[in-house]
Amino acid sequence: MDFSHSPKTQEYLARVNAFINEHIAPIEAEVYEFSHEKNAHGDWHSWQLHPQVEALKAKAREAGLANLFLPDNELGQGLTTLEYAPLAEAMGHYSFAPEIFNCNAPDTGNMEVLYHFGSPYQQQQWLTPLLAGEIRSVFGMTEPQVASSDATNMEARIDFDGDDIVINGTKWWSTGLGHPNAKIIIFMGLSNPENDRHAQHSMVLVPVQSEGLTIKRMLTAYGDYDAPYGHGEMIFDNVRVPRKNLIMGEGKGFAIAQGRLGPGRIHHCMRAIGMAEHALELAIKRGLERNAFGKPIIELGGNKERIAQARMSIEQARLLTLQAAWKIDNLGVKNAMVDISAIKVVVPNMLESVVDMAVQIHGGGGMCNDFPLARFAAGARMLRLADGPDEVHMAMVSRLELRKYK
């Protein structure tokens, strides 16, 4: 295995870092302050994007830095999963950076679904404007009344009525639902209960403005609405869409979901590693700048050892994630399942630990909105649940490990 940066990765990484250093890093505090001032409430109808976001999206697109995640030479930049991974890490330093490059979740996963499984009509109607950065999307999978860690538990219904699809049920923790540009939902629900348990569900495209669809509220994560993106709860009451909005076919939802989550977990984890790098940088600078008992804080209370542990943990997590990316590219998702599940446990836990260390060094300041660490902490904790909790992924690793002995 060779994880070294290809010439293509080196070129794009240099360009992405230059763009971030020139346009994104200088406005980090301003963007966070703007969001806290304008969006620190649950009324998502009035949430606003920072005025520079759309302009920077256009600038990144003009520079050929949009849709870097998509392994297509025409619609993206033709990067492999391994080649894209360091770029995702670079974007992860700043929570609003992925949107600038049109590489933000859940849009990347939804665009991959439409790219790989969408019909020509679906691609024209929704993939094209998503790739253009004109709209945002939502993925509706998690439900409040069932243990969604088992995806086959879903109770929301998809029924077929002639040329229509009728949708009923409730979804929550639907990330991005509060974004001003959210226009389309990929909804996963129970459609064929008579089939094998992994062929009972389907995916359907549902416009956000559909009749019968009610956005009930935005959920808080540790008291924060994560505006202007949000994590919403939505109720579907006899929502009707045309049958042509069905993705791939009846009972194909679980297969689509598995294909969607492989590369997506690489993206999540590499962004999280970038977040950890940023948290470590903040911790070191704070520790060097602040003094207590006649010494820099970095010299006190075992903080040097904590810095060392953070560095070692980040490097280990990165290598494991790059190995998973290499396997996806060279062996396929099915042969990378152990690694994909492993990174989904290792990386968020590493991030949680590094951010907690950084908060401790910052003192009370680390818990307030003067620094991005509180946002990082909520994101790290959420990532241990999103796309499957730690326990599900550890069960996968152990099951495949024990299979070797049977």
- Decide if 272 is inside a domain: yes
pLDDT digits (tens, 9 = 90+) for 205-238: 999 999 999 999 999 999 999 999 999 999 999 9
- Decide if 89 is inside a domain: yes
Residues 56 and 104 in one domain: yes
Residues 80 and 158 in one domain: no
- Decide if 2 is inside a domain: no
pLDDT digits (tens, 9 = 90+) for 15-62: 999 999 999 999 999 999 999 999 999 999 999 999 999 999 999 999
Residues 260 and 245 in one domain: no
- What total number of domains does the chain contain? 3
Residue 285 has pLDDT above 90, yes or no: yes
300 token code pair? 């006190």
Residue 140 has pLDDT above 90, yes or no: yes
Residue 260 has pLDDT above 80, yes or no: no
Residue 366 backbone zone (phi > 0: left; psi -120 to 50: alpha; other: beta):
alpha
> What's the per-residue H, E or C state across 243-295?
HHHECCCCCCHHHHHHHHHHHHHHHHHHHHHHHHHHHHHHHHHHHHHCEECCE
pLDDT digits (tens, 9 = 90+) for 74-99: 999 999 999 999 999 999 999 999 99
Residue 258 has pLDDT above 90, yes or no: no
- Decide if 320 is inside a domain: yes
Residues 19 and 86 in one domain: yes
How much is the pLDDT for 291? 96
85 token code pair? 């991974």
pLDDT digits (tens, 9 = 90+) for 359-393: 999 999 999 989 999 999 999 999 999 988 999 99
The pLDDT confidence band at residue 153, using thresholds 50, 70 and 90, is confident
Instruction: For residues 264 and 345, give the distance between their C-alpha atoms in angstroms, rounded to a whole number.
Output: 14
How much is the pLDDT for 152? 82
CATH of the domain at 12: 1.10.540.10
Report the SS3 class of residue 400.
helix
What does pLDDT average to over the chain? 96
The model carries a pTM of 0.96
The pLDDT confidence band at residue 119, using thresholds 50, 70 and 90, is very high
Q: What residue numbers bound the domain in which 90 lies? A: 7-131
Residue 65 has pLDDT above 90, yes or no: yes
Residue 259 has pLDDT above 80, yes or no: no
- Decide if 397 is inside a domain: yes
Residues 395 and 263 in one domain: yes
How much is the pLDDT for 313? 98
Instruction: For residues 22 and 16, give the distance between their C-alpha atoms in angstroms, rounded to a whole number.
Output: 10
Q: In the listed set 194, 222, 251, which residue is the last one of a domain according to the structure?
A: 251
How much is the pLDDT for 53? 96
Q: In the listed set 104, 131, 158, which residue is the last one of a domain according to the structure?
A: 131
Residues 68 and 198 in one domain: no
CATH of the domain at 328: 1.20.140.10
Residues 267 and 236 in one domain: no
CATH of the domain at 208: 2.40.110.10
Residues 187 and 259 in one domain: no
The DSSP-derived string for 191-228 is --TTS-GGGSEEEEEEETT-TTEEEEEEPPBTTB--TT
Which residue, 308, 307, 331, 337, is CA-closest to 400? 337
243 token code pair? 């049958």
Strands (E), 52-107: none
Residues 79 and 111 in one domain: yes
Q: In the listed set 217, 251, 285, which residue is the last one of a domain according to the structure?
A: 251
Residues 277 and 393 in one domain: yes
Residue 406 has pLDDT above 90, yes or no: no
The pLDDT confidence band at residue 148, using thresholds 50, 70 and 90, is confident
Looking at residues 113-141, what average pLDDT do you find? 97
Residues 266 and 383 in one domain: yes
Residues 242 and 306 in one domain: no
Instruction: For residues 171 and 142, give the distance between their C-alpha atoms in angstroms, rounded to a whole number.
Output: 6
- Percent of the residues in the chain that have a pLDDT greater than 90, as a whole number: 93
How much is the pLDDT for 149? 82
